[in-house]
Structure 1
Amino acid sequence: MKLLDIAEVAQAAGVTPSTLRYYEEKGLIQPVARHGLRRQYGPQVLQQLSLVAMGKMAGFSLDEVAAMFGPTGRPDMPRNDLLRRAERMQAQARQLDALAQMLRHVAECPAPTHLDCDKFQQLLRLATATQKRRRRSGQSPSR
């Protein structure tokens, strides 16, 4: 098994060596040896770092990602948690799409002012209703 030096791992993963040391502190990765003072990693570390990157992209904290790795460093992802996260992401994507459409309408609206536009008035009422619904359901409002 060819060991990878910390600099090689950092370059291959697109992170800094200090990020790798931090990930080690968090329990996300572990060196398998040292060459002098330099950490050496097994080739599986690149896959682990890809999983960390994917978890971060999905909105998981580093602590949540660390909890997904079993004692062997292999992922042990609770599928129900992943499904719930995916559903929240899809809901957020729908909300962002609706917001983008609203902004596009506002930008292209031929009315003299946005407040004179019937569709814009409907969008304002919808935004208020959505905010009230979130507050009643206990969701934290976006700030």
Structure 2
Amino acid sequence: MDISEVVKQTGLPPSTLRFYEEKGLIKSVGRQGQRRLFDAKVLERLSVIALGRSAGFSLAEIHSMLPVNEKIQVSRDTLLAKAEQVDSDIKRLKAVRDGLRHAANCPEQNHLECPTFQRLMRAAISRQRESR
């Protein structure tokens, strides 16, 4: 199928397909004039890329799941590790959400006088130090 058919079926712009090809995530099987041609299996690979991106995997991590031999291999350990990371992100984001709601409704005249807001600021600094 030519690149326009892949664009139509996936909704991805041609520039993304060219970028993915440049990064080795997909490959064209030839050209018809100026247009790249792809095997129908490219749709499966693009689906895995989309799923990986939505799960928060980097393109490098996704690349490791899409080896050259065309057989897609996703390590269960990698999936479990990502699930743990997502759980951690959810927990952190819930705390941020709750802090924002508290700050918006805080009865203190100044947020810096609010003990809860002060605790949130200390936690944010601690997380920033830990991430280094």
Tell me the TM-score normalised to structure 1 length: 0.77
1:44 correspondence with 2:41: yes
Which amino acid letter does the alignment assign opposite residue 8 of structure 1? E
SS state of the match for residue 55, structure 1?
helix
Matches for 1:1-143 after TM superposition, within 5 Å: 4-128=1-125, 131=126, 135=129, 139-141=130-132
Q: What's the offset of the Cα at 1:125?
A: 4.3
Which amino acid letter does the alignment assign opposite residue 111 of structure 2? H
Partner Cα distance (1:77, 1:43) in 2: 20
Over the matched positions of the two proteins, sequence identity in percent amounts to 44
- Report how many residues are paired: 132
Partner Cα distance (1:122, 1:21) in 2: 47
Q: Could you tell me which runs of 5 or more consecutive residues in structure 1 were left unpaired when the two chains were aligned.
A: none
Partner Cα distance (2:77, 2:4) in 1: 36
Moved runs in structure 1, 4+ residues, more than 6 A?
none
Q: Could you tell me which runs of 5 or more consecutive residues in structure 2 were left unpaired when the two chains were aligned.
A: none
